Amino acid sequence: MSDPIVTLTTDFGVASPYVAVMKGVLSSINPRVKLVDLTHQIPPQNVRFAAFYLYTALPYFPPGTIHLVVVDPGVGTERALLCMTIGGHILVAPDNGCWTFLETALSTPQVYRLENQRFRRAPVSATFHGRDILAPAAAHLSLGRQPEEFGPQVETWIRLDMPRARDGINSVAGEIVFVDEFGNLITNISAERLRQTPDVLMVGKRSFKKKFHWVRTYGDAESGTLVGLIGSNNHMEIAVVEGSAASRLKASVGTPVVVGWAR
């Protein structure tokens, strides 16, 4: 049997001792745990970014992987802490919608509140539930504890609004839902909506026709070209070859995007 994996996703930043603290707590409860950093650079308290991140990354992990997510603007308030199984994956996270997009992508989740005192550090601080409740829960899950041992099953939880793309007559309207580190703009327009190759692009108030090319992959156009393509997660992306579309277009999450067919 291989050692159990616990992945870590936080907004703690790379110089923060809080990540190290949680790794210490996890290793103390289960010295065999295999810690896998996903990212600690979720923009501070940006639950929406976390939601897209987890939706993109988590389905690739093997079933049974435990995913610890600490993006928690509501720490210490009445928001619940949850453990859920979804599509074979096990998540431990605050109830703030950070797994909304994952929920739509995978099967029906089973969700439990983390309430059992036995699996918490004592005393529980008011400001660091990642250390005192979430990391201990992930560690105990990695030792074979079952989600239902941690507290009562719940039927409702926070869901983020998911902006949906809309079909027009000769266009599809959506928005940017994620900006990656290359400055590529990932939209909520899925491949299925694009029955034809678009030849017009609007991003915010700027529109592009001749200066916009639809390609199969980044390398299919000259350096500096503004391109549209279907990205690796089946969403339409806007990119600048060997450059940053985010800087070029001054676009960010929420910026409207329309693609159309001029005919």
Residue ranges in contact with its own copies by CB under 8 A: 2-3, 5, 7, 9, 12-25, 27-28, 31-32, 34-45, 52-53, 56-62, 65, 73-77, 79, 125-128, 131, 180-182, 216-220, 229-232, 237, 242
Q: Considering the complex, what minimum distance in angstroms separates the CB of residue 219 from its own copies?
A: 4
Which is nearer to its own copies, 42 or 83 (by Cβ)? Answer: 42
Q: Considering the complex, what minimum distance in angstroms separates the CB of residue 245 from its own copies?
A: 12
Q: Are the C-beta atoms of residues 161 and 171 closer than 8 Å to each other?
A: no
Handedness of CA 83, 85, 90, 96 (dihedral sign): negative
In angstroms, the Cα distances linking 145 to 83, 111, 118, 141, 142 are: 12, 15, 12, 5, 7
What six digits make up the tokens of 40? 């600690």
Which is nearer to its own copies, 7 or 173 (by Cβ)? Answer: 7
Which is nearer to its own copies, 146 or 217 (by Cβ)? Answer: 217
- Provide the pairing of β-strand 110-113 with 153-154: antiparallel
3-class secondary-structure state, position 124: coil
Which is nearer to its own copies, 32 or 206 (by Cβ)? Answer: 32
Q: Considering the complex, what minimum distance in angstroms separates the CB of residue 234 from its own copies?
A: 9
Which is nearer to its own copies, 24 or 152 (by Cβ)? Answer: 24
Measured distance CA(79)–CA(71) in Å, rounded: 13
Which is nearer to its own copies, 7 or 188 (by Cβ)? Answer: 7
SS3 track for 58-103: HHHCCCCCEEEEECCCCCCCCCCEEEEEECCEEEEEECCCCCHHHH
Q: Considering the complex, what minimum distance in angstroms separates the CB of residue 34 from its own copies?
A: 8
Beta bridge partners of 195: none
Measured distance CA(209)–CA(104) in Å, rounded: 34
Q: Considering the complex, what minimum distance in angstroms separates the CB of residue 170 from its own copies?
A: 26
Q: Considering the complex, what minimum distance in angstroms separates the CB of residue 91 from its own copies?
A: 14
Q: Considering the complex, what minimum distance in angstroms separates the CB of residue 263 from its own copies?
A: 26
Which is nearer to its own copies, 162 or 215 (by Cβ)? Answer: 215
Residues 6+ apart with CB under 8 A from 24: none
Residues 6+ apart with CB under 8 A from 67: 6, 7, 9, 38, 54, 58, 61, 89, 90, 91, 92, 93
